[in-house]
Each structure stands twice: as C-alpha cells, then as structure tokens.
Amino acid sequence: MTERKDTISEEKQSLYEIAKKSSSFQKKLILTGFSSFVFIVVVISASLYLLSLKSPKTLAKEHSSVSSFDIDFLHTPEINTKLKTDRNKESSLKARFSIQVSSKDAKARVNRKMNLIANKLQKRLAGYSARDLSKKYGIEKVRKELLDKINAITKPVQINQIFIKDFLIH
C-alpha cells in the first residue's frame, strides 16, 4: 500500500511539475503575444502619424496661394513657339515660367522688362528641337541657360531662380 501511495504521490508530483511547466509556457506565450501586439500597434500609429504630416510639395502649394508669398515671384506670359525641325517633324512648345526675385523693388524692376524677357525666352526656346528638350538633362540645361539670359537682361537686379510652370511639346 505504501508503494501504491508512493506511486500515486510520484504521479501527482510529475503531474504537478508538468502543470507548472505548462503554466510557465502559457505565461511566456501570453507575454510574447502581448508584446507583439503592442509592437504592431506602435508601428501602425507611427505610420499613420508620418502619413498625416504634410509633404514639402503640399506645403509649397499651400504657401503659393497666400498673396504675401507671391511677393518674390513673377510669372511670364504663356510662350508659344515653333521648335527647330527634327527629322522633318515639326514641333511646337507651350511654356510658362515663374521668376524668383529678392524683393518688391526687384519685382517691380523686372516686371517693367517682362516683355523683353518673354521675347528673349521665346527666341532662345525656338533654337531647340523637341529631341534636345526631351533628353534626360535637356530641360534642366535650358532652365539654367534661361536664368543666365534673364540675369543679363535685368542687371543689376539678380534673379535667384527660374521655375518651369508649364512645358508642353506637341
């Protein structure tokens, strides 16, 4: 009988140890699951926060609608010109530019010369073919060249930058 009690006692002890190990495993499993859940919630929250921030392009668009931001910008009239013939194919260009100046006074001075600037831009753009303008760095090269032309016209006023608003080759 004592052997039987010992056997029952050993079985109880082994069942107790198995239950103890099992509950420890369950605790670890629950802890791991909870920490994974918290991590996922933090990642999703951070992603949503970053998506809610406004991009620089969005901020620029908002500022461009404010009249005080427009103080340093002038806009050229629409320039339409025929481009150099490229392989017997005629093309034309329709473009508009924004010119950034440093002050209201500079804006007034440059504005007085806007017709001359538009004519020079049109004449220079007519010297390009559609193929020249469609190359990888073609438009950037043109933009820099036009900036130099405008600065030559507007001396002593310095033009900070010229931005391409519209540039359509057809």
Tell me, what's the pLDDT at 87?
75
Whether pTM exceeds 0.85: no
User: According to CATH, what is the number of the domain 66-169?
Assistant: 3.30.479.30
Tell me, what's the pLDDT at 65?
45
Mean pLDDT of 77-81: 89
pLDDT of 67 higher than 50: no
| 63 CB burial (10 A radius; 0-12, 13-18, 19+) | exposed
% pLDDT > 90, the chain? 2
**Residue 133 contacts residue 169 (beta carbons within 8 Å):** yes
Tell me which of 57 and 124 has the higher pLDDT: 124
